[in-house]
Chain A
Amino acid sequence: MDPDPGDRHASTVQLTAGPLACELDGITMSFGTNEVLKGVTLGLAQGHVTALLGANGAGKSTLIKVLSGVYPEHGGEVRVAGHPVRMESPLAAARHGIQTVHQRIDENIVPGLTVAENLVFEEIVRGEVPRVRSLRRLLPRAREIAQTLGLDWPDSVLTRDVFELGIADSQMLLLARALVQRPKVLVLDEPTSTLSAGEVDRLFALVRRLRDDGVAVLYVTHRLSEVAALADDIVVLRDGAISAAQQRPFDMEQAIRSMLGESLATHHDLVEQRGDVTAVELRGVQLLKRSEPIDLDLRYGEVTGIVGLIGSGKSEMARGVFGADPLRAGTMTLDGKPYAPRHTSHAVGAGVYLVPEDRAAESMLPGWSLTWTSTLPFLRSVSTWGLLRRGRERSTGSAVLEDFGVVATGPSQPVDALSGGNQQKVVVGRWMHAGPRVLLLDEPFRGVDIGARGDISRRARAQASEGACVVVFSSDVEEIREIADRILVLVEGHIKLDAYTSEVGNDAIVTSMSEVA
């Protein structure tokens, strides 16, 4: 593959000649043995909007937390206006002129307090407001803060419980709170995810005004249209390191490529299998709140890979087919017969299985052994008249363990004591052991080491060649190419591409992913 032009800057991350408001130098951060940031060096120029892109798990949120003083134990150096600073706490970050508006609004406003009290919250925390405070004394200051954002909130709004504000106004409140500190650096973490179109315009106008005032803005987002509209620079984070940096004019395809993995090698060892019998037929299925209905056939005897970023609707599709969440609209058939699972047990009964996206929250039962975890969906087959047959249970556990080469002390070892890859082998293996008709794997390789990933991939392909319909959902093009016979690209609930792996190049995939819906 040709060296990509946009990648030239990857190692040199000084993007502009302008004075830097803030520099990150070799930032590292680990949780236990898990190295999340592997030396991020990045300069944020005054009067520039820098867009930070990155797939799930690239380390974006960790980087933001370093910058906002949540993780003082990080490695490397943060410099503000050329001087090294240590940020022990969010308050210290604020003192150095770095303000962050986090994505989770509910974690940052204080319900039960009034809008005014939330606006002057920083001052309350710092004890700059008299302990016994009357609303009347807070109001002038609150009004002043709201004004910095041009929010003309009358006193009747300011004295209301903050809980009564809508999400968008709460977001504005947090922004106003950040701006009143006159930050030199403003970090916005996916600020538009809850806003309507009009509110987004308001926000963008504000960000542009701040930029013109010389504020350095770090703008974290998944939405390429926003990047195109707002950013002066793009920085892409992948696997805890900066993988690309661009200035205008942007090459969006290149940005996507850097986000998802540079070495999109063709996998020659993949012997493509094509199925011709339809397993699941989706008709008029609406995946997202504002997306158009789609039609889709998932076939036996092949591995279908569905590529999509967060918010593309891929988890919605997986969970809808499994009956974990109801579909917004549309119908399904399985083997030509109407299929409308109202509960996951219907899907399991029909041989439709799902490995959900979030292993810890959605698959693991704390303290449960490998055997118990393996037999949980199939207790009927290891019992007679409701009595558990322990011999049969153990042999199922051992079979899952051995089939998949799970590294464990035995079938009675708790699954949560295993490594991520081995946990996933158990979770995938328990479904495969039962012989699925349709096997849905949502991000099956997250937090899974390369060896386990290969094993799972091979076993999934073997299932398909034995006739099962295997569907893999991932945001990683590389992963999908490694496992899938047929590739679908999902963007904001729409199918942008549907082709056999051998017939579609990486460029076409990336191009379709970067199409703005």
Chain B
Amino acid sequence: MTGQLRETTTLMRIQDWVVKYGFIGVTIILFVYFAVTEPAFATSSSLFSMLKFASVTAILGLGVTFTMVVGGLDLSIGATAGLAVQLAAMTMVFYNLTGPTAVVAVLLGGLVVGLLNALLIVVFRIPDLLATLGMMFVIQGAKLIPVDGQSVSSGMVLRDGSVAPGSFTQDFLKIDRGFIGPVPLPVVIMIALVALSWFVLSRTTWGRLMYAVGANPEAARLAGVRVGFYHGLAYVISALLASVGGLILVSRIGQGDVNAGSSSLLEAVAVALVGTSVLGMGKPNAWGTLLGALLVGIVLTGLTMKGLQYYHQDTAKGLVVIVALLFSFTLSRKKLRYTPAT
């Protein structure tokens, strides 16, 4: 059991190299391929629109990253984004309130979801995956009740026969359509949140203690760490990030689509998992998650330009995810330090 040193063969070294850089390599190769074969691909407007589309996935992926850091996994992330979509739409369309009010309502909604997840997991000790799975269904179902299962859009007829008084405000629509210099606002928000998440996770005591909880909760507890607090904190952060992702999404689609967000769960989990193995980090991290989101973005934009029909998108996404996970799990000799508590 004690320190048996196995000789590192050339093959193993190649394998390690492939795991470390292979993923980035694939990303670059695909990028070059699309850039060469589709002249429109490498233009700045196309690149920015690609980044813009990756932003929601990346931000939700950050939420998943936080929960993976504490050794869990937030399965309610897509549903929380969907809730944000509807809350924003309802605030503006049903109640005729301002854009900033909608933003506040969405963030409060996220906070409540995060606290509920934390309550179920930390206080009631329901395993992370199961608690958030239950929460996912509750959110998806409960949000249909006040709108009778209808998508919220301006001018819709309400229950009492009257017409909804409000509509999406211009400032709210700017969240997705605005620019800072040449850069679309969602891309700025994404980069800012990635940088902030990286900073919190690797430069603050909060982040360090969250990693400690994920690495060995009992050892953390016996080092005097308030394990429950940091475990719950990750879920609150995750739900808040999901809400921000939902804000961008609803600003983009301009209506309270009841199905919005639900499909982003798998993508968010996948990009966070991919990020875990990027550059041989071996642990969930913010920049890795961003890279994962970019790869998915490149593939989808490139394939769309190649004339891929929209209904092929899910297949393409699924394949990208599986290939990426092959790098992370199958090829990696390092045991991936990701074990969700079930």
Cβ contact within 8 Å between A386 and B204: yes
- Interface hit among B43-51, B57-65, B122-130, B207-215: B207-215
Cβ contact within 8 Å between B226 and A345: yes
Q: Give the CA-CA distance A364 to B221 in the complex, in Å.
A: 12
- Interface hit among B1-9, B251-259, B291-299: B1-9
Q: Give the CA-CA distance A383 to B207 in the complex, in Å.
A: 12
Q: Give the CA-CA distance A493 to B204 in the complex, in Å.
A: 43
From residue B200, how far is it (CB to closest CB) to chain A in Å?
9
Chain B residues contacting A420 (CB-CB under 8 Å) are 2
Chain A residues contacting B222 (CB-CB under 8 Å) are 322, 324, 344, 354, 356, 362-363
- The reply on B24 being an interface residue by CB < 8 A is no
Q: Give the CA-CA distance A362 to B215 in the complex, in Å.
A: 11
Cβ contact within 8 Å between B216 and A365: yes
Cβ contact within 8 Å between A388 and B204: yes
Q: Kindly identify, within residues 20 to 34 of chain B, every residue whose CB is under 8 Å from any CB belonging to chain A.
A: none
- The reply on A5 being an interface residue by CB < 8 A is no
From residue B72, how far is it (CB to closest CB) to chain A in Å?
16
Could you give, for residues 154-195 of chain B, a 1 whenever the CB lies within 8 Å of some chain A CB and a 0 otherwise? 000000000000000000000000000000000000000000
Find the A residue at minimum CB distance from B209.
A379
Task: Using known A-B contacts A343-B226, A344-B221, determine if residue A380 contacts B205 with beta carbons closer than 8 Å.
Answer: yes
- The reply on A252 being an interface residue by CB < 8 A is no
Chain B residues contacting A363 (CB-CB under 8 Å) are 219, 222-223
Cβ contact within 8 Å between A34 and B1: yes
Cβ contact within 8 Å between B4 and A32: yes
Cβ contact within 8 Å between A366 and B209: no
Q: Give the CA-CA distance A310 to B164 in the complex, in Å.
A: 72
Task: Using known A-B contacts A376-B225, A377-B223, determine if residue A34 contacts B2 with beta carbons closer than 8 Å.
Answer: yes
Q: B208 is contacted by which of A343, A347, A349, A388 (Cβ under 8 Å)?
A: A388
Cβ contact within 8 Å between B212 and A376: yes
From residue A350, how far is it (CB to closest CB) to chain B in Å?
10
- The reply on A271 being an interface residue by CB < 8 A is no
Cβ contact within 8 Å between B223 and A376: yes
Cβ contact within 8 Å between B203 and A368: no
- The reply on A33 being an interface residue by CB < 8 A is yes
Q: A324 is contacted by which of B205, B206, B221 (Cβ under 8 Å)?
A: B221
Q: Give the CA-CA distance A345 to B223 in the complex, in Å.
A: 8
From residue B39, how far is it (CB to closest CB) to chain A in Å?
45
Chain B residues contacting A229 (CB-CB under 8 Å) are none
Cβ contact within 8 Å between B205 and A368: no
Most chain B CB inside 10 Å of its own CB: which residue of A32, A34, A348, A388 = A388
Chain B residues contacting A366 (CB-CB under 8 Å) are 215-216, 337
Q: Give the CA-CA distance A349 to B224 in the complex, in Å.
A: 8
Cβ contact within 8 Å between A344 and B224: yes
Could you give, for residues 112-147 of chain A, a 1 whenever the CB lies within 8 Å of some chain B CB and a 0 otherwise? 000000000000000000000000000000000000
Q: Give the CA-CA distance A419 to B205 in the complex, in Å.
A: 28
- The reply on B340 being an interface residue by CB < 8 A is no
Q: Kindly identify, within residues 48 to 101 of chain B, every residue whose CB is under 8 Å from any CB belonging to chain A.
A: none
Q: Give the CA-CA distance A78 to B125 in the complex, in Å.
A: 48
Q: B283 is contacted by which of A367, A388, A419 (Cβ under 8 Å)?
A: A367
Q: Give the CA-CA distance A32 to B4 in the complex, in Å.
A: 7
Chain A residues contacting B205 (CB-CB under 8 Å) are 379-380, 383, 386-388
Chain B residues contacting A377 (CB-CB under 8 Å) are 223-225
Most chain B CB inside 10 Å of its own CB: which residue of A376, A383, A387, A420 = A376
From residue B286, how far is it (CB to closest CB) to chain A in Å?
16
Cβ contact within 8 Å between B220 and A376: yes
Chain A residues contacting B3 (CB-CB under 8 Å) are 32-33, 417, 419
Cβ contact within 8 Å between A361 and B224: no
Cβ contact within 8 Å between A32 and B2: yes
From residue B215, how far is it (CB to closest CB) to chain A in Å?
4
Cβ contact within 8 Å between A345 and B206: no
- The reply on B314 being an interface residue by CB < 8 A is no
Q: Give the CA-CA distance A34 to B1 in the complex, in Å.
A: 7
- The reply on B218 being an interface residue by CB < 8 A is yes
From residue A415, how far is it (CB to closest CB) to chain B in Å?
11
Chain B residues contacting A345 (CB-CB under 8 Å) are 224-226
Chain A residues contacting B215 (CB-CB under 8 Å) are 365-368
Chain A residues contacting B225 (CB-CB under 8 Å) are 344-345, 376-377
25 contacts between A and B (CB under 8 A): A32-B1, A32-B4, A34-B1, A324-B221, A344-B223, A348-B224, A354-B222, A361-B216, A362-B218, A362-B219, A362-B222, A364-B216, A364-B219, A366-B216, A366-B337, A367-B282, A367-B337, A376-B223, A376-B225, A379-B208, A380-B205, A387-B203, A387-B204, A388-B204, A417-B3
Cβ-closest 9 pairs across A and B: A348-B224, A365-B215, A377-B223, A379-B205, A31-B1, A345-B224, A32-B1, A376-B223, A32-B2
17 additional contacts, CB 8 Å, given A32-B3, A363-B223, A419-B3? Answer: A343-B226, A344-B224, A345-B224, A345-B225, A349-B224, A361-B219, A362-B218, A363-B219, A364-B219, A365-B212, A367-B215, A376-B208, A376-B212, A379-B208, A383-B205, A386-B206, A420-B2
